[in-house]
Amino acid sequence: MNRPPILFVFCVVLALPLAAQSVPDSAAFDAEGERAFVQAMRTFQSGAHDSAVVQLQGYLREFPRGHRWTGASIMLGKALYERGRWRESIRQLKDLLDIAPETLYRFDARYSIGLNYFRMNRYEDAALEFLAVRENSPDSLLIGRSERMLDALASEHLTASQIDGLQAEARDSTVLAMLTFRAAEMLQRNGDTRRAIELLRGLAAQPRWRWYVPEAVELLERLEKGRTLKIGAVLPLLLSSQRPGVREVGVEFLNGMNVAVEQFNRGSITKVALEIRDTERDPSAATRAVSELADDADVVAVLGPISSNEAFAAAGVAHAKGLPMLTPTATSNGIAAVGSNIFQGNPDYDARGRAMAAYAWERLGARTFGVLAPTDAVGKLVADGFVDEVKRRQGDLVSVQWYYAGSTDLRSQLEEMRVVALKRKIVPYFDFSSGIRHEHVNAMLMAGASQRIVDSLMESGGTMSVDSLLGPIGRSLVDSLRLPTKLPVINYDSLGIAVDSIHAIFVPIASSEEIGVVSSQISLFNFQTAILGTADWNDPAELDRNRRYTNGVYFSIDAMPNTQDRSYRTFVTSYQAMAQRPPTVNALIGFDAAQLVLDAITRGATLRREIAEALSTVRGHRGLHGVVSFQPNRVNGAMGIMRYLNGSMTKVGEIDLTALPTEAAARPETPKP
């Protein structure tokens, strides 16, 4: 059944006042009152509704028991409605029903109350009034009008829960069929085809001559033929650019996504199509694209944008409209925090720092740490993540030093780190040749010192370290017992003294051009430590050029495809057939991002809400480029770790923040510089 045109609905409204003249009242006839009422009706019919209001109010004052009292009461309610005084109209009509609940006008009054509610956008209240009239009025004209208004409300204005509430109140089979059909239409528009089909099947089983059954059968047949789900691809394709080279990045991502969709469609009854939009590298264009896709009920998720500024701009719109958005590569902190349906397939800066700290702790056994980081925004965020993870694990953060990106002289930072580290190595000692009194000796003995050793030291006037005499807690006992100690003299400027008390130094360089500067100066200042880095260390040429200093460095990496894997080889074959070139890392990431959404659809998620819920449970998904494992904040917490050793780059492992123990556990392995 088609929706009733809005113009028709309002034509119905304008015709209503004529009905009031045909219903007689039982009170005694009054000629003067009759003349006043007839004049008010003529005024109403002429369209002078303001004057009609005044005349009808006058009649009700002058003839409070007149034989036209109920007629004047309902006509006053209608006149107030025509003037847009909807609250006053409702009050007038409800007063009539309170005073004369059995009046012949009661259903006309309730219908008019429903019209007032409709104009006030109180659609659920309006629907309840129309339902009461539809199911109880003896007037076929009012019945038809109420049903059409109910149909219009269910089609255009009521929510799913409001329709459910009406169905609970309704008794008439025609009304129930209409509400069921409109509920199915709403479910279809919202993407819940499965539930829509369930409702329509029940309705289609009824006799074809019943209202709404033929329409239900038609819609059911259309839905059961198969629905094509759409996935938005919002990428920097720069279609208007005259330089083909600038389009390559977006095209690589898109080609990877196309391979994933093509493979999915070959083996699935449910079909998927990509809806492609060009961001033009413009955040406002990205936002418009996501908004447009969100308005299409068949679009169940969006892949992209790929840059952080575009992703930030579009995330708010996607969240507000309930559209799951998965950005494959955006790394800024806080994008996924915009809403529960926003996902970052790439670890953000915080996760990158935390992952390296977790790797050093879990796999290298490091417990003491240093940080040497650039002061640019990215370096600060990554370093903060590293520091936070060390503190969370109650590790020992020896020193945090900052430098300006691109600096070639790091002497002051490394000298400061050396001094702090060496001071921690200094163990105070007792000098029994001077300053040790009898009460100090007694305190030492009470603290656990050996009587024999103390006597020997007193006799010889020798020296002994606090740790040797009092054990591992000796330094804290010295302070509490106020025992006199001395410190050995160390020449901090002597680079011949190695710093080995820092197990690992985290260096999130600003660019690979800093590899030589940083690594050579860490070596120059004689730090015997493991160097930890981020993906900017992934420059084989620079690592080779500075092999003397970079040997053994660990760093994270965004993509580590297993080229021997069967699924990888299958992808390469499909990609080359499509693009006529080998795949890039961007193509792998695009494929993996699409695969995450397609896997959710394979598991039965066809609604936006269901896909968002399915994505939030992804843990340890091994894609072509690497692992995706969403943390509770919906940011990927998995990274691969590489090591440069003896001229070769080797994958030494992965770290997944979602799979680590809540409490840090000690590991026996010794950190390897």
Q: Which residues pair with 276 in a beta bridge?
A: 233
Longest dimension (CA), the chain: 137
Topology given in CATH for the domain delimited by 6-224 = 1.25.40
Burial class (CB in 10 A: 0-12, 13-18, 19+), 18: exposed
pLDDT digits (tens, 9 = 90+) for 582-591: 999 999 999 9
* pLDDT number for residue 568: 94
Nearest to 21 by CA among 6, 41, 1: 41
**Contact in structure between 640 and 625 (CB atoms under 8 Å):** no
Cα dist from 136 to 140, 168, 537, 631, whole Å: 10, 16, 79, 57
Mean pLDDT by 10 residues, the chain (673 residues): 41 38 51 88 92 91 86 92 93 93 92 94 93 92 92 88 89 89 84 80 83 85 75 91 71 96 87 94 95 92 96 96 96 96 97 97 95 96 97 95 95 93 80 85 87 87 83 80 80 78 96 96 95 96 96 94 91 92 95 97 86 96 95 96 94 92 42 43
Q: Are 218 and 250 in contact (CB under 8 A)?
A: no
pLDDT of residue 224: 62
pLDDT of residue 184: 87
Residue type, 594: A
Task: Supply the DSSP string of 242-275, one letter for each residue.
Answer: S-GGGGHHHHHHHHHHHHHHHHHHHS-SSEEEEE
Assess contact for 619 and 654: CB atoms under 8 A. no
Instruction: Find where tokens 């034989």 sit.
Output: 67
The CATH superfamily of 353-424+493-557 is Response regulator (3.40.50.2300)
Contact 320, 295 (CB under 8 A): no
Angle between helices 173-189 and 193-204 (to 10 degrees): 160
The structure tokens 């397939």 sit at: 345
Whole-number pLDDT of residue 14? 38
pTM: predicted TM-score of the whole model, two decimal places: 0.65
Q: What is the CATH number of domain 230-347+565-624?
A: 3.40.50.2300
Cα Rg of the chain (Å, integer): 39
Domain ranges of the chain: 6-224, 230-347+565-624, 353-424+493-557, 427-481
Question: pLDDT tens, 75-118?
Answer: 999 999 999 999 999 999 999 999 999 999 999 999 999 999 99
CA distance 345 to 407: 32
What is residue 606's predicted lDDT score, i.e. its pLDDT? Answer: 80
Joined tokens for residue 593: 């991002």
3-state secondary structure 269-287: CCEEEEEEEECCCCHHHHH
The CA distance from 132 to 146, in Å, is: 9
DSSP 154-199: HHHT--HHHHHHHHHH---HHHHHHHHHHHHHHHHHTT-HHHHHHH
Contacts of 387 (CB under 8 A, 6+ apart): 353, 357, 371, 397, 400
Checking 538-546 for CB contacts under 8 A at 24+ apart, the result is 538/512, 538/642, 538/649, 539/512, 539/515, 540/644, 540/649, 542/512, 542/513, 542/515, 542/516, 543/515, 543/644, 543/649, 544/647, 545/516, 546/515, 546/516, 546/519, 546/520
**Residue-level pLDDT at 390:** 97
* Whole-angstrom distance, CA of residue 518 vs CA of residue 524: 10
For residue 164, the model assigns a pLDDT of 87
Nearest by Cα to 434 from 487, 489, 485: 485
CA separation, residue 224 to residues 297, 377, 599, 601, 642 (Å): 17, 53, 22, 17, 50
The 3 state secondary structure assigned to 304-334 is CCCCHHHHHHHHHHHHHCCCCEEECCCCCCC
Close Cβ partners of 274 (under 8 Å, ≥ 6 residues apart): 230, 231, 232, 233, 254, 257, 258, 261
Distance CA 295, CA 124 (A): 24
Do 6-224 and 230-347+565-624 show the same overall fold?
no
